Chain A
Amino acid sequence: MKLTNEDVQEILQLLDATPYDEMHLETKRFKLTLRRNRDSGQWTQESQVLSAPNIIRASPVQTAAPAADAATATAAARPADSQKTGWIEVRAHLPGTFYRAPKPGAPPFVEIGSHVEEDTVVCIIETMKLMNAVHAQTRGEVVELCLENAQLVEKGAVLMRIQPGAP
């Protein structure tokens, strides 16, 4: 049996006429809790599908993954491993995929030695389909690039380091 929204509506109509404020229903396949708020009289539901996915094997597909998908390693948020005095880290403000260039084949936003202003875009992080520009936030020179293009990054991961100062 699969529980539908209509089923829940019907159960609620039955429950409405009873003095009960809570109902738990659990089978191998799903778990449902209906709860009535004593003050408002409104119901809430909490449900979980418990049945395990039935995964079948697909015939293998010969597709060359685009180069940009080669990201395998995840760059963990790690403490600064560089003691080079005065270098400022540019960190990921959200998790996602790190891209050095605005599109495949385009020149990277910055290279080692590039001069950046506070508002210079140094890379983008794609999270939930949105391209988020990362700004240098420091005026200076890019001295270290910490990641490969298209690598997955966690929030807080160090993306690159900047030596502050005028060109």
Chain B
Amino acid sequence: MNGLAEKWAQKVLEVCFVASLVAIGLGFILQFTHRFDGSPVLKLGFWILLATPTLRVVTLLLAFFRQKEKKFAWASAGVLFILIVSFFIEKF
């Protein structure tokens, strides 16, 4: 079963994975050269990495919605909602 949901999710994971690794690798190397400050690049890479699973859930939501798989679109929306709630709960 290799439908739209699988394809989109795979693409998002692949692009984010490569982008975050390039940024983390570059930032890490830059830290050893004393001419540039590598930490903003490093931070960017980690933010991309952190956002990846959530982006994947958003992608699945869109794909299931488009394919009219309502049950799974609701499940994706639910996961997204819980992720947002758990983020804000910790702020208190």
Indicate, yes or no, whether A interacts with B.
no
Q: A-side interface residues toward B, CB under 8 Å?
A: none
Q: B-side interface residues toward A, CB under 8 Å?
A: none
